[in-house]
Structure 1
Amino acid sequence: MADLEDDPHAATAAVGDLDSPVPPSTRVPAGQPEQAEPAGSLERARELLAAHPIADGHSGLARALKYASGYEYDIELGERVLETDIPRLRDGCVGAQFLSLHVPPELTGERALSATLEQIDLVRSLVASCPEGLRLALSADDLADARNCGRVATLLGPVAGPALSDSLGTLRAFHALGVRSLTLAGTSWTQGTGLTRFGHEVVREMNRLGVLVDLAGCSADTMRRTLAVAGAPVVVSHHPARVPDDVLGLLRANRGVCMVACTATTIRETADRLDHVREVAGPESVGLSGAYDTGTPHAPGLGDVSCFPRVIAELLDRDWPDPDIEALTWSNVSRVLREAEFMARATQPRRGPSTATLPALDA
């Protein structure tokens, strides 16, 4: 299944839309024009987000910066050419972001590995250049510390599975560099029955390290098989289609999180998808993914990272209770990271680094 970022030029092709004013929107009858949300709902949304900010499950900022050559961006003061900058992260009440390290799909093998390492270096340099706005996060504690200091926690990942080049040693090297999430889609070991023997070993090694398993873009069979194998909670960071209900049920049992992307045609449709995941998987298994700077179109009123409070205002209008809002925005992501870390600490004394290779297991 195609990833949201398949087009290496997409991140810069769609950014011109930001030059036009974006009207606010709220829940309205299908076919009717979007109208401004009640001021009270938006104010209440911002009050909740002040204590429980958005943990955005998938941002394309790193790739947008990497592949938009010939232009110097100013993320700290404001950059309207992109959909993300620090002033708008603050306006959007964003407390944490996973910065995707996916590379153009035509890059394979050593080229994909090299391009991924360059993006890791880019993100680390970006964070270092914006110490008053960003902070690198390697753990759930780092996430909380960044929030408490008024910084946006920046997490490295997901890395695209093909960038591993079928090497568990490369996975360990990525983890040592700070990567905390990896997408399984697009690999030879997620084909056929959904997850090969080597794929099982990759998931086990990710659990041993504390790297989140990201099922975005995977087939339903791969999702089911991975959820049967994974010992730690998994995430679905930006799946382009509706996750099957039976998989959402398995995700609930796994205590994982399905992050709904703000890429529907209206804010109302985004809220509908959040309602569905919450109903089927439960309030502890739903999260938000902006999918900004990935080249994917967004609904009117959701044009950049400053617009997250409008989604929360819509959910308040649908009578979501405060605890469910708090779980959606921050607590679920923080918990998944913490439980993955706990799993790693419990596993490492009993299981050393895996020496498995793809030819040996999947011959």
Structure 2
Amino acid sequence: MAELQDDDDIPLVSGGASERADEEADDHRPGARPPEERARALLTAHPVADGHSGLPWALSRLPWYDLELGDTALQTDLPRLREGAVGAMFWSLRLPPEYAGDRAVSATLALIDLAECVVRAHPEGLRLAHTASHTADARAHGRIACLLGPAAAAAIDDSLGTLRALHKLGVRSLTLSGTRWAGERGLTRFGEEVVREMNRLGVLADLSGSSPETVRNTLAVSKAPVLFSRSAAHALTPHPDNVPDDLLAALGTHNGLCLVPCTAAQTGPGLRDVADHLDHVRRVAGPECVGISGMYDTESALPDGLHDTSRYPQLIAELLDRGWSESDLSLLTWGNVQRVLREADFTAKAAQIRRAPSTATLERLDGERTAGAVTG
């Protein structure tokens, strides 16, 4: 697929910062448009980039599906994606925890093949994307960009060669947790080499589910932004996959991205609870470091008011009602994901000039040290 120039940052409405501020002030005056109408107008210009969709695994469990006409067995289909103003999705390649070794590799390859088949079967609605340019091009042509990842770390089977093969197949994010080289005590020497090779390739490190030490080590090693693909604020909901404030602040310092999930277990039972977590992450990490993960079709319990992918306008309306500016909302829905993809690509191009593909192995770098490691 040919590289195209990014157009996601080109303003769609003329006018400078003062004009935008005047428009936002007008929206709070008597007789202003209702928040949901304003939300839909904003999403037309800045659609949602959903950071975590479980659609591939959900489809692999179904004997038949119809994304064009809709399917009651799913929370995602093309009509609801259009209603929800979704412009891009990360298609999760996560596997059940019992998958390991060759089984994890083959299962991930099967999910990638399924994702490609689904996109080919819906050319008028979906398009595979690998970069920020691809996502912007898909949006410009009225398609929903589908990015592959995060994949489970088990899918690389402790092999950098397998990591490179998955990258060639389109994988653009890898979850680090659940390995011998990224556990409770942080990254091992091989784990650090995995992160460096991910930087060289342009594969984003997903730290959801990782230990605090792994998060700190990865922030120190990675030259590219990292992300939490499905993590909310631990200060509001003490779920093990949520992020404490000190790590949110560190993420902000390193220009990473925390994608807040729409799940009842991590954020609370209602739409307003999800908005509370978005408020908190924006305040602690910064408006440039917060995004949204729908977590649809992952078998997670969903908050009231966010039962499928059509409901994003209602969430954005709630944030508008809370006083979020349109500039911050445009970052939340689209701009922050685009920035992280773009910076990962720039980092990879620079790293490829300096570094050859790594030939490191877990056995050579870590030896016996990993035998007693506690996995994350």
Displacement of 1:40 in angstroms is 1.1
Matched, 1:342 2:346: yes
Note the alpha carbon deviations across 1:68-104, whole angstroms, 9 max, x for none. 3xx3100122112100001100000000000001122
1:44 aligns to 2:38 (yes or no): yes
In structure 2, the partner of 1:224 is: 216
Tell whether 2:51 aligns with 1:57: yes
Measure how far apart 1:160 and its partner are: 0.2
Separation (CA, whole Å) in 2 of partners of 1:222 and 1:327: 27
Is 1:153 the counterpart of 2:145 in the alignment?
yes
How many Å apart are 1:199 and its aligned residue? 0.5
Alpha-carbon displacement from aligned partner over 1:322-357 (angstroms, at most 9, x marks no partner): 100000000000000000000000110110000000
| 1:39 Cα deviation from its structure 2 partner | 8.0
Q: 1:265 aligns with which of 262, 269, 272?
A: 269
Q: Write the distance in 2 (CA, Å) between the matches of 1:132 and 1:77.
A: 13
> For 1:233, what is the secondary structure of its paired residue?
coil
TM-score for both structures, normalised by structure 1: 0.88
Q: Secondary structure at the match of 2:354?
A: coil
Letter in 2 for 1:168: L
Cα distance in 1 for residues equivalent to 2:155 and 2:364 = 20
Q: TM-score, normalised by structure 2?
A: 0.85
Deviation, 1:242, is: 2.7
Q: Whole-Å Cα distance in 1 between the matches of residues 359 and 325 of structure 2?
A: 47
SS in 1 for 2:185: coil
2:110 is the counterpart of 1:106: no
2:154 is matched with 162
Alignment partner of 2:187: what SS? coil
Instruction: Return the alpha-carbon distance in structure 2 between the equivalents of residues 267 and 303 of structure 1.
Output: 10
The aligned counterpart of 2:11 is: none
Instruction: Compare relative contact order (CA 8 Å, sep 6+) and give the higher one, 1 or 2.
Output: 1
Are 1:130 and 2:134 counterparts?
A: no
Q: Deviations over 1:258-293 (max 9, x none)?
A: 000011311111001000000000000000000000
Q: Distance in 2 between matches of 1:280 and 1:192?
A: 24
Report the counterpart of residue 34 of structure 1 in structure 2.
none
Looking at structure 1, the residues matched to 294 and 64 of structure 2 have their Cα atoms a distance apart, in angstroms, of 23
Match of 1:279 in 2: 283
- Aligned mate of 2:71, from 52, 66, 79: 79
Partner Cα separation in structure 2 for residue 77 and residue 192 of structure 1: 45
Q: Deviation per CA, 1:293-314, whole angstroms, max 9, x where unpaired? A: 0000111110000011111011
1:206-225 matched pairs, under 5 angstroms: 206-225=198-217
Q: Determine helix, strand or coil for the equivalent of 2:93.
A: coil
| Residues 1:288 and 2:292 aligned together | yes
Q: Aligned letter for 1:295?
A: E
Deviations 1:37-72 (A, max 9, x none): x9811111010000100000000000001123xx31
Question: How far does residue 168 in structure 1 lie from its aligned partner after superposition?
Answer: 0.2
* 1:205 aligned onto 2:197: yes
1:20-49 CA distance string (max 9 Å, x none): xxxxxxxxxxxxxxxxxx981111101000
Q: Which runs of 5+ in 2 are unaligned?
A: 1-31, 232-238, 368-376
Deviating above 3 A after TM superposition, structure 1's stretches of 4 or more consecutive aligned residues are none
Letter in 2 for 1:76: E
| Counterpart in the other structure of 1:242 | 242
- Between the two proteins, the alignment pairs up a number of residues equal to 324
Contact 2:184 2:212 in 1 (8 A): no
CA distance in 2, matches of 1:127, 1:248: 35
Task: Please say if 1:358 is aligned against 2:362.
Answer: yes
